[in-house]
Amino acid sequence: MKKILRINMDDLTFNEERVKSEYEYLGGRALTSQIIKDEVDPACHPLGKHNKVVIAPGLLTGTTAPCSGRLSIGSKSPLTGTIKEANSGGTASQKLAKLGYKAIIIEGAPLRSGLYVIKIDSDGVEIIEADGLKGMGTYQTAKNLRDKYGNDYSVICIGPAGEEKLSAASIAVTNIEGETSRHAARGGLGAVLGSKGIKAIIVNNGKQDKQDIISYKDEKGFKKLATDFAKKLVETKKVLTEYGTANLVEIINSLKGLPTRNFSVGQFEGAEKISGEVLRKRAIERKGRTGHPCQPGCVIRCSNVYKDEKGNFLTSGFEYETIILTGANCGIDDLDTIAKIDKFCDDFGIDTIDTGAAIGVLMESGLIEFGDREGVLNLLEEIRKLTPLGRIIGSGAEITGKIFGVTRVPTVKGQAVSAYDPRVFKGTGVTYATSPMGADHTAGNCLPGRGGYREETKDASKIKHYEGDKIQVALSSDLQVMATVCDSLGFCYFVGATLENMNIFAELVNKRYGLSITGKDMIKLGQKTLEIEREFNKAAGITEVQDRLPEFFREEKLEPSGNVFDVNENEIKKVFDFS
């Protein structure tokens, strides 16, 4: 990957640039955050012409390394006001890498109010007027574009939420079957792409659809290491292959940290009905599938295809976070209803986490009852019709809470927390509070059994997820660093943010690029990226005062555990002390 494509929407021009020497060994999140830091005014309006969108494959994307095809998208977030990287599976990242693109930088804003498609393939780049796609959902958008240009094209697109610049809008990426079930969902980056007038980016490496377009300094050594790593993942990630991320439903419920009825309790009486076991059983009975890969080269295959009782497709990205935030968090114990919510959000182009949290806040306000399935589906219609209420929900949980006068609003820096209550999972609570991205579990999720890279955090068996100050802060710090490394190389987080993998990643980089780095150097890359993100945020007016959870997490006991989030705030301030 030796070139950067810069697209200027002011005058609808583009050019290819040589990669700066300081960017040569950056990819994914490390590259998007560095470019945003270098080129975007931290004080700019996120939806104004001075913000930019940076799209980057990982440093190892396009290689034979397993599960390395994630796509990073970076910008200043309209939801949080912070720097943001959201990433997605799907097929687009590998195709960009095989075309030789290290990044796409989209800047400016078009003079006309219409929509555009950016077409990128082995013949070049085109900016095409696409007003006919206005108001179209992501599924139909992808189908129309693939029907017109060919099924070999991967599609990155927004739905109506992004066009309308709703601050919880996502960016969809097509999977292997061409369905827009993979999303760079968090932070409202779909609204930023919409502000640039871009409905879709379509990518096809076509004539260069060969593995040998990716060069290696030690190809034999790289492929041997990648094969061994893949075999290890197949053996150790079987539960994800069989049940997907929904395998966590009953586990987290048993640990009494499952967000239920707007984070008011930590166990859901209907958890068994929305579990991974039920999902798997129904998927198989209805001729869907589990063990489904969202991208070529994925050996974990945690995705699934879920259909309704009549065999109609509902979703192929039915994740734990979606099931809990739109299910248990809203008091809903029916998996089919939750799948319908998921399909709507994927098609409309909106984050399921913030949408589920916003609906939970509305239920808290008394607008509808917890567990009211029809009421929730009616709220989705409000979003679809872009009524004032629909626009409020589509702007996320924090805005919803402010407008409806609710004080139990589970957000940090404007972004909804995910499906692990921080009163039980306290290290994850530290991550929610301190991540430069706003509340984001993928930034460093401290689930039981996960350890760090320092002596005091390496032995995960000795870390209790619900107690201790220093250890929770240290673990959050370590996992935030290693998660950043995964994001930067293009690895799916499920390969494992572990010290052992930092060493494997370093060897893969060495054998591809002819370097001699170590696992410690990988950790330094993660640390440096986090420091860059925090520098941007500081210049944008984000201070340590905002590195905290909502007060109800500290003051309201979570039943049945009786826990509160009681990690010392002075300790939390040390989370990024890498000295």
Query: Within the chain, which residues score under 70 in pLDDT?
Result: 1, 207-212
Ramachandran region, residue 108 (left: φ > 0; alpha: ψ -120 to 50; beta: rest): left
> Which residue intervals of the chain bear CATH 3.60.9.10?
3-206
Placement of tokens 């974990």 in the chain: 300
562 vs 520: CA distance, rounded Å: 39
415 vs 351: CA distance, rounded Å: 11
Q: Is 319 exposed, middle or buried (0-12, 13-18, 19+ CB in 10 A)?
A: buried
> Do residues 423 and 553 touch, judged by C-beta distance below 8 A?
yes
Closest CA to 265 of 274, 253, 248: 253
> How many CB atoms lie under 10 A from the CB of residue 477?
26
> How many CB atoms lie under 10 A from the CB of residue 13?
11
CATH number assigned to the domain with residue range 422-579, chosen from the 4 options 1.10.599.10, 3.40.50.620, 3.30.1490.100, 1.20.1600.10: 1.10.599.10
492 vs 470: CA distance, rounded Å: 28
Residue 4's SS3 state is: strand
> Do residues 556 and 564 touch, judged by C-beta distance below 8 A?
yes
> Which residue intervals of the chain bear CATH 1.10.599.10?
422-579
Q: How many helices (H) and strands (E) does the chain have?
A: 22, 17
Placement of tokens 């095809």 in the chain: 69
> Which residue intervals of the chain bear CATH 1.10.569.10?
240-420
pLDDT tens-place string over residues 216-239? 999 999 999 999 999 999 999 999
Length of the chain: 579
CATH number of this structure's domain 3-206: 3.60.9.10
Q: What angle do CA 442, 448, 449 make, to 5 degrees?
A: 100
Specify the pLDDT at position 211. Answer: 45
> Do residues 395 and 403 touch, judged by C-beta distance below 8 A?
no
CATH number assigned to the domain with residue range 240-420, chosen from the 4 options 3.30.565.10, 1.10.569.10, 3.90.45.10, 1.10.287.470: 1.10.569.10
DSSP designation for 460: G
